[in-house]
Amino acid sequence: MSEAPDSAAPADLLAASRAVVDRLQRAGHIAYFAGGCVRDRLLGREPHDYDVATDASPDKVQSLFPRTTGLVGKAFGVICVLERGVQVEVATFRQDLDYTDGRRPDGVRFVTPEEDAQRRDFTVNGLFYDPVADRVIDYVAGQADLAAKIIRAIGDPRARFAEDKLRLLRAVRFAVTLGFEIEARTWEALCAGAQEIAVVSPERIRDELDKIWSGPDPARGLDLLDQSGLLAVVLPEIAALHGVEQPPQFHPEGDVFIHTRLMLSGLKDAPLPLALSVLFHDIGKPPTFAVDETGRIRFNGHESVGARMTEKLMKRLRYSNEMLEAVVACVANHMTFKDAPHMRLSTLKRLFARPTFEIELELHRLDCSSSHGLLDIHAFLKEKRASLPAESIDPDPLVTGHDIMAATGLTEGRWLGQILRQIREAQLDGKLASKEEAIAFAKHLIDKA
Ligand code: ATP
Ligand code: MG
């Protein structure tokens, strides 16, 4: 279940995991690749990590390999082996004891490979592979579901979701990232249990959601979350976009939910900040909905209301500050783009210099193409930016406060700050090109005052 260090090349990961299996088998044990890595290999995808499952006890695993740690999960039968500089998780075949908290088993019992397969969540995740004999071991009919592209709970779906509520979201996540259908009984149980997702920690919910949004089909992810009832629990701000009407001349596509979904459908394996910005950009619309005296629908200030809501919900889901700041900035700024053709050069340059500009520009493009369809501002901004030398967008300042104080006898304070800002603006507007010109401009401003 661990994420392999990013530095390990796929071939090194595979070689190290194979070596671990080989060592265990030579010592007389059963040892297989297990779970996600088997699924991915059978699908022709590169696994991002390998999990090894064995009948050797954790103590035995530790005695067979010189470099191990049991810190992460020895109590759950998991030992981390360091092999050829790569970390490989080796888990003893196990069965989970009772789940009293709806998320983690109270403990584990060591069992046969077949029983270990039964405790796994979905049939396509329940496969083993023996890399020495080149043989798939399938106790759960997982290969048939892989071929048919089906996510099916192992055993009774209701019981499996009741045990561990994170599986509710995992089912949707695997369906979306693999492009699989969710089998009917599994789907029915998922819908029946959707409310229960509330007991899962915000971090785990966030991690699953992020894989959906930055995956190959986030719009389908939104649909499945919405139809199952999960969305209303994990992201009520998005569920609230349903039925929020918009002015038809700007939004012929329909309500705010439809608009947001349409934008998501333009994303495939998108960077997460972009996907989240798309998802949240209009969440300020429901609370700002109003109809003016001419009968036109307005959402005044929805971008700043939406930015505050985005901040709150991203804190709730424990996003990093870096991610939060980027997404909140995109939501807060998304309405300024419409004014771009009237902006002075200095304002445009500040826009181009923003760390989130690329994401904001793409957000703007999706916003337009998923509503009125006019892409003139997008084209204008792309051309304008291409026409400006990179070094002119955020150049070093021509002068410092000390330069101005030395040249004019001015002392520190508000007035100095204002002068520096005007110099900067004139520089970005292309009206000042040297330190001398900047000082002359400062003197002129002082004389004028
Ligand atoms: P990926 O790593 O690509 O997200 P994965 O299938 O490897 O997918 P992990 O979370 O790494 O998923 O878990 C490894 C394996 O452990 C799974 O394939 C599955 O067999 C089992 N597993 C993980 N989480 C659960 C769970 N909540 N309930 C039951 N089995 C689980
Ligand atoms: Mg995995």
Task: Report all structural domains of the chain as residue ranges with CATH numbers, in order of start.
Answer: 1-148 (3.30.460.10), 150-227 (1.10.110.30), 235-393 (1.10.3210), 401-448 (no CATH)
CA of 427: how far to CAs of 159, 349, 435, in Å? 67, 11, 10
Query: What confidence score (pLDDT) does residue 2 get?
Result: 45
Average pLDDT, the chain: 94
Least confident of 4-13, 24-33, 181-190: 4-13
Contacts 24+ apart (CB under 8 A), 419-422: 419/445, 419/446
159 Cα–ligand 2 center, Å: 23
pLDDT tens for residues 381-405?
Answer: 999 999 999 899 999 999 999 999 9
- Which whole number is the average pLDDT over 403-426? 92
pTM of the model: 0.91
Query: What confidence score (pLDDT) does residue 100 get?
Result: 77
Which ligand gives the minimal distance to the CA of 38?
Answer: 1
Which ligand gives the minimal distance to the CA of 78?
Answer: 1
Residues 269 and 179: their CA atoms lie apart, in Å, by 13
Question: Which residue's alpha carbon is nearest to atom 28 within ligand 1?
Answer: 121
pLDDT reading at 445 higher than 60: yes
- Which whole number is the average pLDDT over 236-256? 95
38 Cα–ligand 2 center, Å: 10
Least confident of 100-114, 170-184, 204-218, 249-263: 100-114
- Which whole number is the average pLDDT over 52-70? 94
pLDDT reading at 328 higher than 50: yes
122 Cα–ligand 1 center, Å: 9
Could you tell me which of 437, 443, 448 has the C-alpha nearest to residue 408? Answer: 443
Half-sphere exposure in the Cβ direction for 7 (13 Å, CA): 4
Could you tell me which of 399, 400, 388, 397 has the C-alpha nearest to residue 349? Answer: 388
Query: What confidence score (pLDDT) does residue 1 get?
Result: 46
139 Cα–ligand 1 center, Å: 16
Looking at ligand 1, which atom is closest to the CA of residue 163? 28
pLDDT tens for residues 276-293?
Answer: 999 999 999 999 999 999
Looking at ligand 1, which atom is closest to the CA of residue 96? 29
Residue from 121, 124, 163, 186 to probe ligand 1 pocket by mutation (most atoms less than 8 Å from CB): 121
Residue from 39, 104, 120 to probe ligand 1 pocket by mutation (most atoms less than 8 Å from CB): 120
Query: What confidence score (pLDDT) does residue 104 get?
Result: 77
Q: Label the pairing between strands 51-54 and 31-34.
A: antiparallel
Which ligand gives the minimal distance to the CA of 45?
Answer: 1
Residues 70 and 58: their CA atoms lie apart, in Å, by 8
Looking at ligand 1, which atom is closest to the CA of residue 211? 4
56 Cα–ligand 1 center, Å: 21
Query: What confidence score (pLDDT) does residue 7 get?
Result: 66
Between the CA atoms of 309, 310, 315 and 316, what dihedral angle is there, to the nearest 10 degrees? 70
- Which whole number is the average pLDDT over 364-388? 95
Query: What confidence score (pLDDT) does residue 449 get?
Result: 80
Query: What confidence score (pLDDT) does residue 97 get?
Result: 80
Sequence-ordered list of residues with C-beta below 8 angstroms from that of 207, at least 6 positions apart, any chain = none
Contacts 24+ apart (CB under 8 A), 106-112: 107/75, 107/76, 108/75, 108/76, 108/77, 110/55, 110/57, 110/77, 112/55
- Which whole number is the average pLDDT over 367-379? 95
Question: What letter represents residue 78's amino acid?
Answer: V
Looking at ligand 1, which atom is closest to the CA of residue 164? 27
Which ligand gives the minimal distance to the CA of 163?
Answer: 1
Could you tell me which of 32, 52, 43, 267 has the C-alpha nearest to residue 150? Answer: 43
- Which whole number is the average pLDDT over 35-44? 97
- Which whole number is the average pLDDT over 31-59? 96
Sole residue written with tokens 């901040």:
311
- Which whole number is the average pLDDT over 136-145? 98
2 Cα–ligand 2 center, Å: 6
Who lines ligand 1 at CB under 6 A? 1, 35-36, 51, 120-121, 125-126, 164, 166-167
